[in-house]
Amino acid sequence: MVYNHHCRPDAPTRRLARQGVDALRRHFGTTADVAARAPGRLEVLGAHTDYNEGFVTAIAIERATVVVAARRPDRLVRAWSPWGDWRDYLAGVCAELAAEGCVPGGADVAIVGDVPVGGGVSSSAALEVACAVALSSLAGCTLGPERLALLCQRAENEYVGMRCGILDQFTSVFGRPERVMWLDCRTREHRLVPMAGMSARFVVCDTNRPRELVGSAYNERRAQCERAAQVLGVRALREIDSATLRARAGELDATLLRRARHVVSENERVQAGVAALERGDAVVLGELINASHLSLRDDYQVSCPELEAMRAAALDAPGCLGARLVGAGFGGCVMALVEEECVGEFVPQVESSYRQATGLEPSIFATGAADGAGIVATD
């Protein structure tokens, strides 16, 4: 099967696709053969659980990367993008496609999009997945959605050096409108949970504080989790529950205990969150989101002053049911769950409080759950 999920393009996607087609013509003088779109993601609950073989819940967001490509007769891949820092991702995807026996051949590529870059909403997975969908489609090869997500993860692990789990790429591929994806990162069993009757929206609040040392601090957290699992004699922390961890706390040093406590409690919050979603209970979901943040701040220690200032501003604003940092942490975005009718007031109030507290200009937007990656018509 060629990976050929076709997106119903909304207005921003159509605009991005046109921009990509123009860029291809302007920079390389070539005509587009294919365009692919892949969204960023928000993990609703389940931060830093994926590489512990645990559970996550996430949505694909209404912001995406669009890759437009034209076939070349040789083996050269040329690419243009308005951002820096994307070469390793594209090179990694090309190499991983080739390793899967899907040789993309030559292509001219334009990369455009509106996912905040480096903001914790996974602009990197959006880029990898959009490249992989476009290039595998050009090559006409047979890749199912799960293989596609896994090869993009390997591109990031091996070419970029970020030992990320599967959350981002999986959500970018499998996300669906008005659904929260629940994923077991060990078995990769997944389910799309309807956001039934929830009159609340997710609001992404970007601190615009560039994330620093995120790769090294992230890899360090991952190594600490692996050590904690080893000391406890399990393959991954996913096998430990809160009661067991409390009983065996003395076996871990203070840092490893903190890291394990976050992962174990976060896995339990994911499962409670799914039950809340199924009941349409936004209040309980908001409480779980708050508890997740406190655990990330105090036990996992991946927050920073700007994230705290943004979260305080969000919690003070009308209609906020809960707020937490998203993605790896160390900067980037806070996600707030906000009562639908309050979103209009919420956004300007958070903007002004955050600006006052930090002197930084935030970027804030509301999003629903969007469709996962797919091919977009270019005409």
- Which residues are registered as beta bridge partners of 70? 108
Residue type, 242: S
The residues carrying an active-site annotation are 168
Looking up tokens 């620093």, which residue turns up?
A: 212
Is 324 a binder of ligand GLA (CB under 6 A)?
no
Residue 351 burial (C-beta neighbours within 10 Å; 0-12, 13-18, 19+): middle
Query: Given candidates 3, 51, 89, 346, which one binds ligand GLA under the rule CB under 6 A?
Result: 51
Query: Given candidates 164, 285, 321, 375, which one binds ligand GLA under the rule CB under 6 A?
Result: 164
Is 57 a binder of ligand GLA (CB under 6 A)?
no
Is 50 a binder of ligand GLA (CB under 6 A)?
yes
Among the candidate windows 140-148, 165-173, 229-237, 287-295, which touches ligand GLA by CB under 6 A? 165-173
DSSP three-state, residue 205: strand
Pull the structure tokens for residue 322: 């809960």
Is 168 a binder of ligand GLA (CB under 6 A)?
yes
Is 47 a binder of ligand GLA (CB under 6 A)?
yes
Q: Quick check: 183 and 374 in contact, CB under 8 A?
A: no
Query: How far apart (Å, rounded) are the C-alpha atoms in residues 228 and 235?
Result: 10
- Nearer residue to ligand GLA within complex by CB, 168 or 306: 168
Among the candidate windows 1-9, 141-149, 164-172, 362-370, which touches ligand GLA by CB under 6 A? 164-172
- Nearer residue to ligand GLA within complex by CB, 273 or 327: 327
Which has the closest alpha carbon to 269: 248, 247, 300, 310?
300
- Nearer residue to ligand GLA within complex by CB, 302 or 321: 302
Query: Given candidates 64, 139, 328, 376, which one binds ligand GLA under the rule CB under 6 A?
Result: 328
Cα-based distances in Å from 287 to 8, 183, 294, 336: 34, 21, 11, 11
Query: Given candidates 132, 148, 167, 225, which one binds ligand GLA under the rule CB under 6 A?
Result: 167
| Residue 305: other Cβ atoms inside 10 A | 12
- Nearer residue to ligand GLA within complex by CB, 165 or 374: 165
State in Å, rounded, how far the first CA of the chain is from the last one: 24
Query: How far apart (Å, rounded) are the C-alpha atoms in residues 314 and 310?
Result: 6
Q: Total binding residues for ligand GLA by CB under 6 A?
A: 12
Query: How far apart (Å, rounded) are the C-alpha atoms in residues 206 and 62?
Result: 15
Looking up tokens 């009661």, which residue turns up?
A: 243
Is 48 a binder of ligand GLA (CB under 6 A)?
yes
Is 319 a binder of ligand GLA (CB under 6 A)?
no
- Nearer residue to ligand GLA within complex by CB, 86 or 346: 86
List residues binding ligand GLA (CB under 6 A).
Answer: 43, 47-48, 50-51, 122, 164-165, 167-168, 327-328
